[in-house]
């Protein structure tokens, strides 16, 4: 509502004086401030804030009159009355300085465009030169206790118990006096009730203020009692005065009245403020609410404030400022919502924790429109007691306020708009955020607006994206001549602003970032806005008074036209407009004659400039119900109604204006359309008459209402929220008038009302409601300390160290859980469920459920008395309707203290059962949270059992982050560290879904590198028999725990290997630091053997997305199938291929066969290194010989990333190459060579898979699992690997079963390739010498014919009818013209004819035929 901003300003008086000012009194419009010292009367101007004139009493007169005490202005600012201590009233005339006599004038540089256009030009920007002239004093012969200005009279209270009525021109008309004792006082105005009367002998009025709307005086007597005096007739005399008094109050100190809300605020010696209202039926004083600082907010200042010193309502009557004898300021909204207090936090403490003395205030007053609070601090005399000459100072606190305080039609918008003295703060996002990128471009000219109007609801991204405000500086030219800003409005899209000051108005576009002002300053100065501003589509609607025609008008100006009356649509009105509001295409006005007018607006299509026409629809007189027009706070047109039998499937017509809502001094009154008369069918009547249904008599909906929010939008999914009525009720929080819908098409229950009023408390002051998003937007004051500034100076402590710097931050709050809870309390669970389901898509819906459980749990579990009907079981049952149930309960439990867990789980169920539900639902992270609860509530054996279950499931699902936490958790249970439960992972690590962590240096073993993955959270031992290393503390429990964890890890690794899930095994080892090589060494002859080579090979193809090799169609009819020219190309391609595979594997050392390892099974192989060296030098190309030609490089970059792309590649390979030949004419490769290159690339898998396979090959090689090395060598089609393995098989260390297994496996692969996947045949032919050698080495002699061409052709023959020799998933059929049999036989022929050549050029076919 009101928010402090920045530091206060210090206004220094230019005149040095020994006297300190102590009293401040503003004029009616707050343009002037009278400041009193003991013998001085000064007048200050508000903008610029300067001293205008000072009157110093002579010593002789000061002796006669006494010191000055109080001052009061005449309503027209022409006189000041000053009360002096000896019972004199001194009247001063204020005399203007005449024409062009100004104390201060603005000086503009030469050539400035600002010129004098209108006669009043200078008056608004200059401080006037005034003089003060004392008239004859009036002696009342008793000390004066209070001064109160009426229209023509001045009411003076004296200490002898008299009320004196003086004329402002006091001398001529004399005075009248009334003795308090003669005024009858009772508890109410109904004389028939002869209640106790008040004895006022010897009592006088200590403080008094006149209330216009109550037509009476709120008074505080010197004995602390409170009263209200009202004249029964127009004349002020003893016979016509009557009083009521408040029972049971005897400690009143001061009073202030609120004219708009008809409230009287009385300060008390206890430090609280009692706010009274007058009961309209009995006339008695009734307590409305209390304003007091609660220990909840300020525990250290309870009862330390002293009596209330002063109360001041803001000019718009929406907030009240209170100060106490002991100092400090506090601000409340009209019905008691606490906004600001300077007695705590950064206001009361320095940054080092020392306490500051609160600022003691002797007088304060609000400035114009409430943008400033003028404060005079009370200062003690100098240390030696002698007065010193010094400059008096006045503090000016600066405020920004919500646009709702003066322009309540802003409550239809979903933006928060605050305005300060010279700038606006808004919450909407940038224009670029709220619209598509193309739209702002079309608006490059200020006259053009995007055609597509933005949606009404901006969505959360723009409204909640950040805490910063969009600040718009008000145009200086407009501000200079029209300060202060009185009204501000923003359109529904949050892109157009309008402000109105003293005269005229201006508007601003966030698209163009430009202000529009009246081009003709005379037009601007000839109008003043009276009833506020509002936006309707692209038009700004202004209710104003035209000074030239002396006529009330309603004007519409289009935002794209120049701001000129020539482009305005003007409608003349009969009475002054106080309030206006817009609903769809209707405008509602409230006027000073207490009538309401409804107008329809329609955009004119035929006019050259955009304009609109207005038509009066209906007038409703409210004078019977409204005692004073100034009491109406807001008027709203809405589609909310009560009497309809609405169902959820048939939404009401939100397009029609069903009701009028009036906020009458905090009482919300509703007028509905009267549908009881004969209803006319729509086709029988014109649209005009249809809208003229009369209104029913008003009904009161709520009390103590500050703001009202409704929306004209419809949303079928969230009808509860969109069709509700939202009320802000001060300290009572918010209320929502919620519609209740019968489910589906059922008839509504007769006992079920159509709507229900639900109250709930908020932590913020609401400024806007986002209906569909179930959010309230607000703002809050934040403070920043700068108390070290100027600390070294010996002079007076600077303001910067006395006060913190104040900022205003955006804030928001969810309210949905309050509504659901209130509905459940009222046994409306079905409605609560419908409401919750409509909002379940909100991003914070889980948080809503969590909040609801938490609030109910805290209340019920900590209650001292037994609760007869606990709500928690109902809430728990309600939450089970949503899939978030398990997560909600556990999150709530984790955020609640342990002592309340038993109460919670007694209502929601056993945590063991909930844990098992999580496991069944595969929600492992939530299960991990339940594990922590089980650990605290159950014995260790139970939590270990559940942890094992979760660990195994997490291993199976590859949730590595969770697995690491579980390892730590299980170790903690064993080592007795269960007091510190593990943290529950919230999200999976990014790496857990990818491949393994690969280590660049092949000689590093996995166990050492695991630290980089695990970040030191756990330490799995390198040997598995007994723990060693830093985590071994010699405890049996430790080794037992480690063994227990190791057993689970081994079991999982065994399962993965049995299921041929090598990729998962690699991820598992890398993520959990599992020492794969050591484990494989031990399992070499058990689970680490390959049972079925063909199945393993197929599984690897599938796992690593590795394509099955295919044979190109062109290779059969190719001229290169025999002869030397084939080998040249083959060697070139082979070199590039092997180099490519080595470079891609990202290994920094030489190929695997020359790696020295530290495992014992290789140490005995004496001949192996020599064989490897000779083999590699004989036929295999070396890394340094590799040459990647530009073509191959380019093709590699575009190579296939996954198996799914392979179909396109193969079809390209099989297609016509003649078109491509032109592009490659510069290269010396023929069509057939290109075909082979592309085929080679098509047969390769993704680069990542290649790295992973090479890595696994390295691991299996070090562990001595030779049969796995063979399988990986086959899929990589790497001749060197097979040679290396066959070389190792000669060693006596290698068991015969391994040799037999490899031989059998290769035979099976060969058979499978002949029948199902011919792409493997060329590679198998390449390694035939190794196969032959294997057969020779084998213990059981195998017939050599098994590898002869005849047997191969026999195996190949059954596959002739097959159209797709390769497995179907890859979808790479051989071309139909390719004869499979002839292809195979041509390979066999080549093998038979050229045995010597093949021996020389091993590896040739690797690229030629694959």
Decide if pLDDT at 433 tops 50: no
Q: What was the pLDDT predicted at 315?
A: 95
Q: What was the pLDDT predicted at 1012?
A: 38
Q: What was the pLDDT predicted at 1315?
A: 85
Decide if pLDDT at 384 tops 90: no
Closest to 617 in 3D by CA, of 570, 672, 657, 557? 657
Q: What is the mean pLDDT of the chain?
A: 76
For CA atoms 230, 232, 234, 235, give the dihedral sign. Answer: negative
Q: What was the pLDDT predicted at 723?
A: 87
CB 1104 within 8 A of CB 1249: yes
Distance (Å, rounded) from C-alpha 138 to C-alpha 675?
64
Encode pLDDT of 1019-1077 as tens digits: 333 333 333 344 444 456 667 778 888 888 888 888 888 888 888 888 888 888 888 88
Average confidence (pLDDT) over 992-1017: 37
Q: What was the pLDDT predicted at 958?
A: 87
Average confidence (pLDDT) over 1269-1287: 85
Encode pLDDT of 334-347 as tens digits: 999 999 998 888 88
Distance (Å, rounded) from C-alpha 332 to C-alpha 320?
5
DSSP secondary structure letters along 852-918: HHHHHHHHHHT-SSPPSS-SHHHHHHHHTTSTTHHHHHHHHHHTS-GGGHHHHHHHH--HHHHHHHH
Cis peptide before 553 (omega within 30 of 0): no
CB 220 within 8 A of CB 193: no
- Output the 3-class SS for 981-996: CCCCCCCCCHHHCCCC
Distance (Å, rounded) from C-alpha 147 to C-alpha 426?
42
DSSP secondary structure letters along 1345-1356: GGGSHHHHHHHH
Q: What was the pLDDT predicted at 1010?
A: 35
Q: What was the pLDDT predicted at 1229?
A: 63
Closest to 1140 in 3D by CA, of 1066, 1245, 1258? 1245
CB 311 within 8 A of CB 330: no
Give me the residues paired with residue 552 across strands: 545, 573
Q: What was the pLDDT predicted at 1004?
A: 34
Closest to 1107 in 3D by CA, of 1189, 1213, 1179? 1213
Encode pLDDT of 791-805 as tens digits: 554 456 676 778 899
Residue predicted with more confidence, 958 or 1381: 958
Say if residue 1096 is exposed, middle or buried (CB neighbours under 10 Å; 0-12, 13-18, 19+): buried
Residue predicted with more confidence, 742 or 66: 66
Distance (Å, rounded) from C-alpha 24 to C-alpha 31?
13
Most trustworthy range by pLDDT among 220-234, 683-697, 1114-1128: 220-234
Decide if pLDDT at 278 tops 60: yes
Decide if pLDDT at 151 tops 60: yes
Q: Hey, how many other C-beta atoms are within 10 angstroms of the C-beta on 112?
A: 9
Encode pLDDT of 1317-1363 as tens digits: 888 888 888 888 888 777 776 544 344 443 444 333 333 333 333 33
Decide if pLDDT at 648 tops 70: no
Decide if pLDDT at 779 tops 80: yes
Q: What was the pLDDT predicted at 853?
A: 94
Residue predicted with more confidence, 1190 or 177: 177
Q: What was the pLDDT predicted at 199?
A: 74
DSSP secondary structure letters along 912-950: HHHHHHHHHTT-HHHHHHHHHHHHHHS-HHHHHHHHHHH
Decide if pLDDT at 1167 tops 90: no
45: left (phi over 0), alpha (psi -120 to 50) or beta: beta
Q: Predicted confidence band at 751 (pLDDT cuts at 50, 70, 90)?
A: low
Q: Which residues, in sequence order, are CB contacts of 530 under 8 Å at separation 6+? A: 543, 544, 545, 552, 576, 577, 578
DSSP code, position 1410: -
Q: What percentage of residues in the chain have a pLDDT greater than 70?
A: 71
Q: What was the pLDDT predicted at 1206?
A: 37
Q: Strand, helix or coil at 1203?
A: helix
Distance (Å, rounded) from C-alpha 489 to C-alpha 487?
7
Closest to 777 in 3D by CA, of 815, 730, 738? 815
Q: What was the pLDDT predicted at 1322?
A: 84
DSSP secondary structure letters along 540-585: EEEEEEETTTTEEEEEEEESSS-S-GGG-EEEEESS-EEEEEEETT
Q: What was the pLDDT predicted at 84?
A: 94
Distance (Å, rounded) from C-alpha 1391 to C-alpha 1410?
16
Encode pLDDT of 28-73 as tens digits: 999 999 999 999 999 999 988 999 999 999 999 999 999 999 999 9
CA atoms within 13 A on the CB side of 1098: 14
Whole-prediction pTM: 0.76
DSSP secondary structure letters along 1048-1107: HHHHHHHHHHHTT-HHHHHHHHHHHT--HHHHHHHTTTTTTS-S-HHHHHHHHHHHTTPP
Least confident of 142-156, 433-447, 1304-1318: 433-447
Decide if pLDDT at 762 tops 50: yes
Q: What was the pLDDT predicted at 291?
A: 93
Distance of CA 990 to the CA centre of its chain: 25
Encode pLDDT of 687-713 as tens digits: 444 557 888 889 999 999 999 999 888
Residue predicted with more confidence, 984 or 1186: 984
DSSP code, position 1195: H
Q: Predicted confidence band at 1225 (pLDDT cuts at 50, 70, 90)?
A: very low
DSSP code, position 89: E
Encode pLDDT of 549-571 as tens digits: 999 999 999 999 999 999 999 99
Distance (Å, rounded) from C-alpha 861 to C-alpha 359?
43
Distance (Å, rounded) from C-alpha 581 to C-alpha 589?
7
Least confident of 153-167, 180-194, 1070-1084, 1089-1103: 180-194
For CA atoms 795, 797, 799, 801, give the dihedral sign. Answer: positive
Q: What was the pLDDT predicted at 819?
A: 93
Q: Predicted confidence band at 971 (pLDDT cuts at 50, 70, 90)?
A: confident
Q: What was the pLDDT predicted at 663?
A: 95
């Amino acid at each position: 509502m009101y928010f402090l901003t920045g530091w206060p300003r210090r206004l220094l008086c230019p005149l040095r004086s020994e006297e300190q000012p102590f009293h401040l009194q503003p004029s009616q419009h707050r343009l002037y401030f009278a400041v009193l010292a003991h013998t001085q009367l000064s007048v200050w101007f508000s903008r610029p804030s300067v001293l205008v004139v000072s009157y110093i009493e002579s010593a002789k007169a000061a002796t006669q009159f006494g010191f000055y005490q109080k001052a009061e202005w005449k309503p027209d600012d022409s006189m000041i009355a000053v009360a002096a201590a000896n019972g004199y009233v001194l009247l001063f005339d204020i005399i203007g300085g005449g024409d062009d006599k100004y104390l201060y004038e603005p000086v503009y540089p030469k050539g400035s465009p600002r010129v004098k256009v209108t006669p009043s030009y200078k008056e608004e920007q200059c401080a006037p030169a005034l003089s003060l002239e004392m008239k004859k004093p009036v002696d009342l012969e008793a000390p004066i206790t209070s001064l109160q200005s009426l229209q023509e009279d001045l009411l003076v209270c004296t200490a002898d118990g008299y009320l004196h009525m003086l004329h402002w021109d006091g001398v001529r008309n004399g005075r009248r006096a009334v003795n308090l004792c003669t005024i009858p006082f009772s508890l109410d105005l109904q004389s028939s009730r002869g209640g106790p009367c008040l004895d006022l002998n010897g009592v006088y009025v200590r403080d008094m203020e006149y209330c216009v709307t109550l037509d009476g005086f709120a008074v505080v007597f010197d004995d602390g009692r409170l009263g209200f005096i009202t004249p029964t007739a127009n004349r002020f005399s003893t016979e016509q005065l009557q009083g009521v008094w408040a029972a049971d109050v005897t400690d009143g100190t001061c009073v202030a009245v609120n004219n708009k809300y008809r409230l009287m605020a009385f300060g008390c010696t206890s430090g609280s403020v009692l706010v009274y209202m007058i009961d309209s039926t009995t006339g008695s004083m009734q307590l409305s609410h209390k304003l007091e600082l609660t220990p909840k907010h300020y525990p250290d200042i309870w009862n330390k404030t002293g009596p209330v010193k002063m109360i001041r309502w803001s000019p718009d009557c929406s907030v009240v400022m209170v100060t106490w004898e002991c100092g400090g300021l506090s601000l409340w909204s009209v019905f008691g919502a606490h906004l600001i207090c300077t007695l705590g936090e950064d206001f009361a403490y320095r940054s080092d924790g020392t306490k500051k003395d609160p600022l003691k205030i002797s007088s304060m007053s609000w400035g114009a429109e409430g943008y400033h609070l003028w404060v005079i601090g009370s200062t003690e005399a100098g240390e030696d007691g002698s007065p010193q000459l010094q400059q008096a100072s006045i503090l000016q606190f600066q405020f920004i306020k919500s646009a709702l305080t003066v322009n309540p039609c802003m409550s239809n918008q979903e933006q928060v708009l605050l305005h300060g003295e010279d700038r606006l703060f808004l919450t909407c996002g940038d224009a670029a955020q709220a619209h598509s990128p193309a739209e702002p471009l079309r608006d490059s000219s200020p006259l053009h607006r995007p055609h597509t109007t933005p949606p009404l609801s901006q969505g959360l991204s723009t409204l909640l994206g950040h805490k910063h405000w969009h600040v718009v500086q008000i145009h200086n030219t407009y501000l200079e001549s029209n300060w202060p800003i009185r009204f501000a409005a923003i359109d529904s899209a949050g892109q157009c602003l309008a402000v109105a000051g003293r005269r005229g108005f201006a508007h601003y576009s966030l698209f163009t970032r430009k202000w529009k002002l009246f081009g003709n300053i005379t037009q601007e100065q000839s109008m003043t806005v009276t009833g506020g501003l509002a936006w309707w589509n692209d038009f700004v609607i202004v209710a104003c008074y035209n000074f030239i025609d002396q006529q009330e008008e309603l004007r519409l100006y289009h935002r794209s036209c120049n701001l000129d009356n020539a482009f305005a649509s003007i409608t003349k009105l009969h009475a002054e407009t106080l309030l206006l509001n817009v609903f769809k295409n209707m405008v509602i006005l409230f006027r000073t004659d207490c009538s309401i007018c409804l107008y329809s607006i329609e955009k004119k299509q035929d006019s050259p400039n955009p304009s609109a026409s207005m038509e009066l629809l209906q007038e409703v007189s409210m004078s019977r119900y409204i005692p004073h027009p100034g009491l109406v706070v807001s008027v709203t047109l809405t589609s909310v109604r009560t009497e309809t039998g609405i169902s959820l499937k048939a939404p009401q017509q939100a397009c029609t204006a069903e009701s009028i809502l009036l906020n009458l001094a905090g009482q919300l009154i509703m007028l509905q359309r009267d549908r009881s008369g004969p209803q006319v069918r729509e086709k029988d009547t014109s649209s005009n008459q249809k809208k003229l249904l009369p209104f029913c008599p008003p009904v009161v909906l709520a009390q103590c209402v500050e703001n009202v929010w409704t929306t004209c939008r419809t949303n079928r999914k969230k009808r509860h929220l969109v069709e509700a009525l939202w009320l802000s009720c001060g300290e009572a929080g918010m209320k929502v008038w919620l519609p209740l819908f019968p489910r589906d098409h059922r008839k509504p229950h007769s006992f079920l009302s159509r709507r229900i009023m639900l109250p709930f408390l908020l932590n913020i002051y609401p400024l806007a409601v986002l209906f569909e998003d179930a959010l309230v937007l607000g703002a809050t004051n934040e403070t920043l300390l700068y108390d070290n500034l100027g600390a070294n100076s010996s002079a007076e402590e600077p303001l910067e160290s006395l006060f913190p710097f104040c900022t205003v931050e955006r804030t928001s709050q969810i309210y949905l859980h309050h509504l659901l809870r209130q509905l459940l309390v009222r046994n409306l669970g079905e409605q609560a469920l419908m409401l919750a389901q409509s909002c379940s898509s909100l991003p914070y819906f889980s948080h809503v459920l969590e909040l609801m459980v938490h609030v109910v749990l805290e209340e019920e579990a900590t209650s001292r008395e037994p609760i007869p009907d606990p709500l928690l079981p109902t809430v728990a049952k309600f939450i089970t309707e949503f899939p978030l149930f398990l997560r909600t309960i556990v999150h709530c439990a984790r955020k609640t203290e342990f002592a309340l867990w038993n109460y919670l789980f007694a209502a929601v169920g056993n945590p063991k059962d909930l844990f098992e539900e999580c496991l069944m639902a595969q929600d492992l992270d939530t299960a991990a949270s339940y594990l922590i609860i089980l650990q605290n509530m159950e014995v260790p054996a139970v939590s270990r059992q559940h942890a094992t279950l979760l660990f195994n499931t997490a291993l199976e699902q590859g949730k590595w982050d969770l697995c690491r936490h579980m390892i730590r958790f299980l170790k903690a249970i064993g080592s007795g560290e269960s007091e510190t439960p593990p943290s529950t992972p919230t999200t999976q690590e990014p790496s857990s879904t990818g491949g393994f962590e690969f280590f660049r240096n092949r000689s590093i073993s996995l166990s050492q590198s695991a630290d980089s993955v695990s970040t030191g959270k756990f330490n799995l031992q390198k040997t598995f028999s007994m723990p060693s290393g830093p985590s071994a503390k010699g405890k049996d429990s430790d080794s037992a725990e480690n063994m227990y964890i190791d057993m689970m890890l081994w079991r999982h690794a065994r399962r993965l290997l049995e299921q041929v899930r090598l990729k998962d095994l690699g991820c598992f080892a890398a993520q959990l630091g599992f020492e794969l090589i050591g484990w494989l060494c031990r399992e070499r002859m058990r689970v680490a053997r390959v049972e079925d080579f063909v199945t393993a090979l197929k599984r690897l193809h599938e796992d690593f997305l590795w394509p099955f090799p295919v044979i190109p169609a062109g290779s059969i009819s190719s001229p290169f199938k025999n002869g030397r020219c084939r080998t040249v190309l083959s060697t070139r391609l082979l070199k590039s291929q092997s180099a490519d595979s080595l470079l891609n594997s990202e290994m920094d050392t030489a190929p695997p066969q020359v790696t020295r390892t530290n495992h014992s099974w290789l140490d005995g192989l004496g001949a192996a290194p020599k064989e490897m060296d000779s083999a590699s030098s004989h036929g295999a190309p070396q890394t340094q010989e590799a040459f990647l030609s530009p073509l191959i490089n380019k093709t590699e970059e575009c190579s296939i990333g996954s198996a799914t792309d392979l179909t396109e590649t193969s079809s390209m390979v099989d297609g016509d190459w003649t078109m491509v030949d032109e592009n490659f004419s510069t290269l010396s490769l023929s069509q057939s060579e290109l075909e082979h290159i592309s085929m080679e690339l098509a047969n390769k898998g993704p680069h990542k898979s290649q790295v992973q396979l090479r890595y696994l090959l390295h691991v299996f090689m070090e562990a001595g699992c030779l049969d796995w090395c063979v399988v990986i060598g086959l899929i990589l089609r790497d001749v060197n690997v097979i040679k290396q393995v066959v070389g190792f098989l000669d060693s006596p260390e290698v068991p015969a079963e391994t040799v037999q297994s490899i031989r059998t496996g290769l035979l099976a692969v060969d058979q499978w390739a002949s029948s199902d996947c011919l792409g493997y045949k060329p590679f198998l032919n390449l390694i035939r010498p190794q196969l032959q050698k294997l057969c020779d080495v084998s213990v059981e002699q195998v017939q050599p014919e098994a590898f002869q061409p005849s047997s191969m052709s026999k195996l190949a023959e059954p596959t002739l009818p097959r159209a797709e020799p390769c497995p179907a998933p890859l979808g790479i059929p051989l071309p139909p013209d390719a004869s499979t049999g002839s292809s195979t036989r041509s390979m066999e022929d080549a093998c038979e004819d050229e045995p010597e050549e093949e021996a020389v050029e091993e590896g040739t076919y690797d690229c030629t035929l694959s």
